[in-house]
Amino acid sequence: MKLYDYFRSSAAYRVRIALNLKGLKYDRAFVHLTRGGGEQFSDRYGQINPQNLVPALADGDQVLTQSLAIIEYLEETHPEPPLAPVSPAERARVRGIALAIACDIHPIDNLRVLNYLTKQLGVTDEQRTAWYRHWVETGLKSVEALVAGHPMTGRYCHGDTPSIADICLVPQLFNARRFDCDLSGCPELLRIDGACNEIPAFADAAPPNQPDAE
């Protein structure tokens, strides 16, 4: 398998965690998202992923896109260790937390959106940072509400096994810290983040530990 990767991409970070948790070896191609206007916009990468986003995962002839689709694929092709519980209702909870981050926080603060704010709308750096923090803080507070005090929350977002929910949470919190977001409303998420980062599969996937880190 070959991962099209960028150290700072939070969606790629999710896939790195999943590959590590599954104990899968993989090659990598690095796609620099800011150099030369963004290597993801090159014709060569556009052939791999017409969405011009990282990550993509090549497995044999198949090229997979979208981090959560890739992770569900890894779960179906390499079921051990599982990244989701067994019962449909519990799976829905785990996926609901993952999607609350992957749909409703991350895309609104993605690099291309921030660039549009600056270039097309001419917002100030302060307004851009306030935008970033607003969506992260509002979004994480609602995730905190899904997790804190819930009977199914354990050492991790769901029970005592790391799941797709944690795989989305940890990269989002990494980004939140990078932009100095106020995380004081999210003690339960911070506790879970700490527990996840004690696992080498999570720690090894962190942006500063990647070969292309700057």
Q: Which residues bind a second copy (CB under 8 A)?
A: 50-53, 59, 62, 64-66, 68-70, 72-73, 76-77, 88-89, 91-93, 95-96, 98-100, 102-104, 106-108, 113, 116-117, 120-121, 123, 127, 130-131, 134, 142, 145-146
Residue ranges of E strands in 72-200? none
Strand partners of residue 28: 3
**Would you say 17 or 140 has its CB closer to a second copy?**
140
Hunting for tokens 């890894």 — which residue is that? 74
Residue 53 CA to residue 6 CA, distance in Å, equals 10
Provide, rounded to whole angstroms, the least separation between the CB of residue 128 and a second copy.
10
End-to-end Cα spacing for the chain: 25
Provide, rounded to whole angstroms, the least separation between the CB of residue 45 and a second copy.
12
Report helix, strand or coil for 102: helix
**Would you say 103 or 213 has its CB closer to a second copy?**
103
Provide, rounded to whole angstroms, the least separation between the CB of residue 116 and a second copy.
7
Virtual torsion, Cα 151, 84, 52, 10, nearest 10 deg: 50
Residue 41 CA to residue 62 CA, distance in Å, equals 21
**Would you say 130 or 213 has its CB closer to a second copy?**
130
**Would you say 68 or 196 has its CB closer to a second copy?**
68
State which amino acid sits at residue 176: A
Provide, rounded to whole angstroms, the least separation between the CB of residue 65 and a second copy.
5
Provide, rounded to whole angstroms, the least separation between the CB of residue 61 and a second copy.
9
**Would you say 117 or 206 has its CB closer to a second copy?**
117
Provide, rounded to whole angstroms, the least separation between the CB of residue 200 and a second copy.
26
**Would you say 31 or 70 has its CB closer to a second copy?**
70
Virtual torsion, Cα 72, 77, 78, 83, nearest 10 deg: 20
Q: Which residues lie closer than 8 Å to 213 by C-beta, 6 or more apart?
A: 7, 207
